[in-house]
Amino acid sequence: MAVGPNDVIDRKLVQIYAKAKTNNFDMSSTVNPEKIMNSMELMALNNKSYFDIKRNIGNRKSNLKDAA
């Protein structure tokens, strides 16, 4: 089984698209790396704060049990 255009229309389309040149470089849709790094930093700081608060609450609960 051969791979390629089988009829006249397919052959013509192949010729047209073989000559077509496209430029898919769209710089306006790129992501700013500084924004990504800032977002990652904020998420890491948020997670660190969450675990620090959780650890402090756990320490306070154990201190309350010792005092009782």
From first to last of its 68 residues, the chain has per-residue pLDDT tens of: 456 778 888 888 888 888 877 766 666 667 788 999 999 999 999 999 999 999 888 777 666 665 55
Q: Is residue 38 part of a domain?
A: yes
**Residue 21 domain-assigned (yes or no):** no
pLDDT score for 11: 85
User: Is residue 40 one of the residues assigned to a domain?
Assistant: yes
The span from the CA of 5 to the CA of 32, in Å, is: 43
Kindly tell me the sign of the dihedral angle through the C-alpha atoms of 50, 56, 57, 59.
positive
Domain with 62, as residue range(s), is 33-68
Count of structural domains, the chain: 1
Prediction pTM value: 0.46
Tell me, yes or no, whether 20 lies in a domain: no
Domain-embedded: residue 8 = no
Q: What is the pLDDT of residue 66?
A: 59
